[in-house]
Structure 1
């Protein structure tokens, strides 16, 4: 059901603050295999990212973040909003990996927010989709294929930047690569969430300092260096 009060408030924010926006959709795997340390670190990393978005003078008024979680189904944890207004609940792990459903929801939220930008005349930067998963998708294959096609079309049209992240030794990097046609997925161990979100915060800040319409300026060398860090012995 559409919450018209929330929708109108969001439009008013765009009118009151016409700063060009950087929409960032975090699409995060919270399936059962993320239980324990991984989900705790993921929660801490996401909270750290939001804190850094609030503390940076450029990103405080330009970056809008939405967070989608996926397990046995997909859920909108928070719709697009400035970091200082987001009350992030603690995500819990459980269920299977409905990746396609999560990506479809994240893309739907992005399309809705872009429509709001256009309706109010607010410029925006190329949207960023961050996809993080520690396993292989096992939801509806039709939805997965639909999500894959949408992502590939948007990336091919230079209308979306995807950062795909495989977590831990069982991440399906081949599948993640199909959602990231322009750059290979990064492979992290479960204890690197805070480092990754620190990198993401800096990358988003770089984007907000560029011109609207420019492709996201990602420090891929720094990301590759993070990937190259040794894995903990207990995950080998």
Structure 2
């Protein structure tokens, strides 16, 4: 069975401390639980989770969905949002992870990338460079979520195919966000091998599609 690699990039900068990061932890559990109810996702999806603040950390390397064990995601008391560094680190990881097709094997399906951030990238020059680099990696879709009042959609436009806005950052809102992400992944599974489309399932009312 060909793999569908899914990469989650989660902002853990200082502004995410408290209820927001607790809501992200709950939301990720919602995501994994929903995907495991889909037999085809259970067979094909391989997931990796990376966090970014002053550093970029891969907390789950690319792992079959059934074997994913979610650690407790934490955040420092303060610190920058080094999204450019995270993308640079991710690019190295994707190049190693994703099996390209050849005459001998079909390789993996094109990967998905989901990014959640509540602020502006601190490393703006590196971020701009990495936005270009990400476009060369062959993602099926890059979906960004601007969470909270400080996150700006315009910062994500050079990177993402789709951008959604989450105005509140409580557990209910994040649960709906990650449930919707599971629907995107599941719909991607069902469309594998057919004509490629970048349309997304309709989001719940709490999530506004802005791009």
- TM bucket by the smaller chain? 0.7 to 0.9
Residue equivalent to 1:186: 164
TM-score, with structure 1 as normaliser: 0.78
Deviation at residue 200 of structure 1 after TM alignment: 1.2
Q: How does 1:8-157 map to 2 (within 5 A)?
A: 19-94=1-76, 95-115=79-99, 121-139=105-123, 141-154=124-137
Shift, 1:212, TM fit: 3.4
Structure 1 residue 171 corresponds to structure 2 residue 151: yes
Query: How many residues align structurally?
Result: 204
Distance in 2 between the 1:49 and 1:32 partners? 24
Q: 1:138 to 1:119 in 2, by over 3 A?
A: farther
- For the pair shown, the structure with the greater C-alpha radius of gyration is 1
**1:21/1:122 contact within 8 Å kept:** no
TM-score by length of 2: 0.86
Give 5+ residue unaligned stretches, structure 2.
none
Tell me the C-alpha RMSD between the 2 structures. 2.4
Contact kept, 8 Å, 1:125 with 1:213, in 2: the verdict is no
Cα drift, residue 52 of structure 1:
1.9
CA drift at 1:206: 1.4
Q: Say which structure is richer in strand.
A: 2
